[in-house]
Structure 1
Amino acid sequence: MRRLRRPQKKDAELDITSFMNLMIVLVPVLLLGMVFSHISVLDIQLPEGGADNPDQKDPPKLLELIIRQDGMALNYPAGVPLKRLANKEQSYDFDGLSLYLQDLKRAFQQKGIEKRDIIILMEPDIDYQTLVTAMDTVRSFRAVVVASDVDAELFPEISLGDAPAAAKAKGAKR
């Protein structure tokens, strides 16, 4: 009788070339994508409501930025007009605001006033991007120090609120 010899089975080799090619492409793409998903958090303080302290003789003077549809206004102390910035070409004058706040910060420092807070008051129909741009503008500005760009501090402690009702025009019927 004849015996059949079965061929011996060889261990199969794993071909991982395609998987390695995928990893070579995927890892750099994922690492580059991490830079674009950076989330920044900005701390803001809400104004304290109705808590008048009778022991406090001289209330602190508040710097206000009021944003309306027709422009922006700076008040210091609260309610006393300091500067009015009208819109230019359908947009707000954030460059002019930044320059004025830089001058104001220098004036405060020369008088020995350490002012770090500002209140941003907005009308209800102001869009979100305007708020973000205003917050970035009042918080800091780009300055060149020893041949490098840095963010110099203006008023980093930001509070938010609703703008007071606009004053009616003179001679308008009630």
Structure 2
Amino acid sequence: MYRKPRLNRVEAELDITSFMNLMIVLVPVLLMMMVFSHITVLELKLPGLSDDIEQTVSDDMTKQLEVVVRKDSIRVNYPQGHLLKHIATTSDGYDYDTLVNTLKTVKSLFTKQGIDKKDLSLLLEAEVDYQTIITLMDKSRSYQAVVVASVVDAELFPNISLGDAPAINANAALADNSSPLLAGESE
């Protein structure tokens, strides 16, 4: 048997310069297009199991500030069930600016009376969508204020409780149960 002599094969060189050029351009472009998500955790205060213990707290602390959100309006109540401000929806949706102004007025009145209130109950109808709930929570927690030529977040009511809106009673809707807290303020 005769064997053919092997020819000296030259090892092929692997040319990856074109691939490296592609990666040098592609990686920064993809990194610039990437969206980094920002997740914020909000602490919620849920009602306790025994409400009897909470009733022993002072009268000012047991009065609850409520924001009742319905599909056609927002009601600000203090104490429970006593209307401070009725905010009707606009063609664009809920009037968040009026809500923030009302909450700022209530917060300043509490401060003038020496009440350090930081809690608020957000009572919602079942039809209220998720984004509206998040926006209402953000607007109720703080607002943008200008202090010494810089914009800061001023605190309103950071301790937010969620709950179901009470059912609408036709007789209660006709009754005037307004609270005198904002009586001196202009509408």
Q: TM-score, normalised by structure 2?
A: 0.76
Alignment of 1:55-94 (within 5 A): 56=56, 58-59=58-59, 60-89=62-91, 91-94=93-96
Q: Is the counterpart of residue 33 in structure 1 residue 72 in structure 2?
A: no
Quote the sequence identity (%): 47
Q: Is the counterpart of residue 134 in structure 1 residue 133 in structure 2?
A: no
Aligned CA distance change for structure 1 residues 149 and 80 (closer, same or farther; 3 Å): same
The CA deviation at 1:93 is 1.1
CA deviation map 1:83-114 (0-9, x unaligned): 11111225111110001111211221222211
Q: Which has the higher helix share?
A: 2
- What secondary structure is seen at the aligned counterpart in 1 of 2:102? helix
Cα distance in structure 2, aligned partners of 1:79 and 1:88: 24
Cα distance in structure 2, aligned partners of 1:88 and 1:153: 26
Give the equivalent residue in structure 1 for 2:125. Answer: 123
Q: For the aligned residues, what is the CA RMSD?
A: 2.7
**How many equivalent residue pairs?**
167
- What secondary structure is seen at the aligned counterpart in 2 of 1:40? coil
| AA partner of residue 19 (structure 1) | F
Segments of 4+ in structure 1 off by > 4 A?
A: none
Cα distance in structure 2, aligned partners of 1:117 and 1:54: 14
Q: TM-score, normalised by structure 1?
A: 0.81
Cα distance in structure 2, aligned partners of 1:157 and 1:89: 30
CA contact 1:47–1:161 (8 Å) conserved in 2: no
Q: Which runs of 5+ in 2 are unaligned?
A: 175-187
Q: Which runs of 5+ in 1 are unaligned?
A: none
- What secondary structure is seen at the aligned counterpart in 2 of 1:74? strand
